[in-house]
Amino acid sequence: MTVDIGRDPVTNKRKQKELSGFKTKREAEKAAAALITEIEEGTFVQEKNVTFKEFVNTWIETYSSTVKVSTLRVRKHESGRLMKYFEHKKMKDITKKMYQDALNDLQNPEGKKKGLSYNTISGVHSTGRMIFSKAVELDIIKNDPTQYAKLPRAQKTVEEIEQEEEVPKYLEKEQLAKFLNTAKRKGLGQDYVIFLILAYSGMRAGELCALRWSDLDEDEHTISITKTYYNPSNRTREYQLLTPKTKTSKRKIDMDPFVFEELKQHRKKQKEIMMKYRSTYHDKGFVIAKTDALNAGYPEFIKTIENRMRRLLKLAGLNEKLTPHSLRHTHTSLLAEAGVGLTEIMERLGHKDDDTTRHVYMHVTKTMKKEASQKFAELMRSL
């Protein structure tokens, strides 16, 4: 059965749609009537013969002009996970069941012991929704197959549940003091000032690598966080400075004058390096800059900071699984122990909302409340 669907706006020729595959004449007439109703109401969409791969490539090209390069990299990676299911399929042929089956397979892949985590699949689904939503908007497809998709959840073991409840690892104040003392005595190059800043500010490693001397106010003893370091290839000269992770990440941190005294000493040493390599020094004002002849002045790698921390933790006899990010958790715990409120802590860390920070805070304050109760009971027993 053939139905007129209007005229081509360019050639003015009549366009028709062929309806086929029906078991009875009544089914065909019913489908034709529904199609005619859509045409009359202006809701008809002539779906295009575009493959998933073709559309994603076009979408990525458009999307790239609206987001940071780091976000684009994530979207490319996540859309790539859907490619193995839909790469050569036409967008209009991808059904709700096919899309749900893809999500389910990511969580429980055939022939493999373990699939992707819930958070990773959630990210893939977010990208999938963006892709198909845009396809609907552009009249490539009529219906969005992601609309009613459910994220699969694996049945967790008792051990996994217990691990989830575990408080993120951080250093107690005595351990932090030991770590910083080890960095001062046995640290390589700039280790001490790196970890002193991270410990006393709670900033991210990427924010530290992007820090410039112009971000420091020596009179007010504050550090302004306005950017973050991005270098996925770990090629010294291919770094980028991006806007902060979130809107709340842009902030000003009050620092102890003691840290600024150490920074003054650090700057003197840095100026000596600048003089030594003055003809090749990458003079962009980075606080934590490389010191070797070939790359002097370029911002330090985040990976280098991670490796240096592991070395110092081992020398100090502390948990070697801790990372620079663990110092943010440490900062949270010590602020909570000092009586600083959760809202103030989140502002200092540049968080609008964060379950991990809240988890650490609640763990520390719960212990403090228990101690307060014990002290009261001891007081009453002494009467």
Residue extents of the structural domains in the chain: 2-41, 52-156, 173-371
| Residue pointed to by tokens 């004058």 | 257
Distance CA 176, CA 126 (A): 39
Query: Does position 140 have pLDDT exceeding 70, yes or no?
Result: yes
The fraction of the chain above a pLDDT of 90, given in percent, is 63
Cβ neighbours around 223 below 10 Å, total: 24
The helix (H) or strand (E) run that includes residue 327 is helix 326-337
Distance CA 154, CA 108 (A): 8
Query: Does position 299 have pLDDT exceeding 50, yes or no?
Result: yes
Distance CA 74, CA 248 (A): 21
Look at residues 168, 38, 35, 154 and name the one whose alpha carbon lies nearest to residue 105. Answer: 154
Beta bridge partners of 229: 241
Average pLDDT over residues 104-130: 88
Cβ neighbours around 287 below 10 Å, total: 24
Query: Does position 111 have pLDDT exceeding 80, yes or no?
Result: no
pLDDT score for 351: 85
Q: Which pair of tokens denotes residue 230?
A: 């991005």
Is 145 buried (19+), middle (13-18) or exposed (0-12) by CB count in 10 A? buried
Query: Does position 191 have pLDDT exceeding 50, yes or no?
Result: yes
10 confidence band (pLDDT: 50, 70, 90): very low
Cα angle vertex 379, ends 377, 381, to 5°?
70
The helix (H) or strand (E) run that includes residue 35 is helix 25-41
Query: Does position 8 have pLDDT exceeding 60, yes or no?
Result: no
Q: Alpha-carbon dihedral of residues 6, 12, 14, 19, nearest 10 degrees?
A: -60
pLDDT score for 39: 46
The helix (H) or strand (E) run that includes residue 266 is helix 257-276
Distance CA 245, CA 232 (A): 15
Cβ neighbours around 204 below 10 Å, total: 23
**CATH for 52-156, options being 1.20.1540.10, 1.10.150.130, 3.90.245.10, 1.10.10.10:** 1.10.150.130
316 confidence band (pLDDT: 50, 70, 90): very high
- What fold is seen in the domain 173-371? hpI Integrase; Chain A (1.10.443)
Looking at residue 347, its amino acid is: E
Beta bridge partners of 253: 223
Distance CA 323, CA 201 (A): 15
Average pLDDT over residues 220-227: 96
Cβ neighbours around 79 below 10 Å, total: 22
- Give CA separation, 115 vs 42, 105, 108, 165, 173, in Å: 44, 8, 5, 22, 38
Query: Does position 278 have pLDDT exceeding 80, yes or no?
Result: yes
pLDDT score for 251: 94
- Name the 3-class secondary structure at 62: helix
pTM for the whole structure: 0.73
The helix (H) or strand (E) run that includes residue 14 is strand 14-18
Q: Tell me: the pLDDT tens digits for 46-63?
A: 557 889 999 999 999 989
Query: Does position 38 have pLDDT exceeding 80, yes or no?
Result: no
Mean pLDDT taken over the chain:
86
Q: How many H-runs (helices) and E-runs (strands) does the chain carry?
A: 14, 7
pLDDT score for 115: 85
pLDDT score for 355: 82
- Name the 3-class secondary structure at 366: helix
Q: Classify residue 128 by its DSSP letter.
A: H
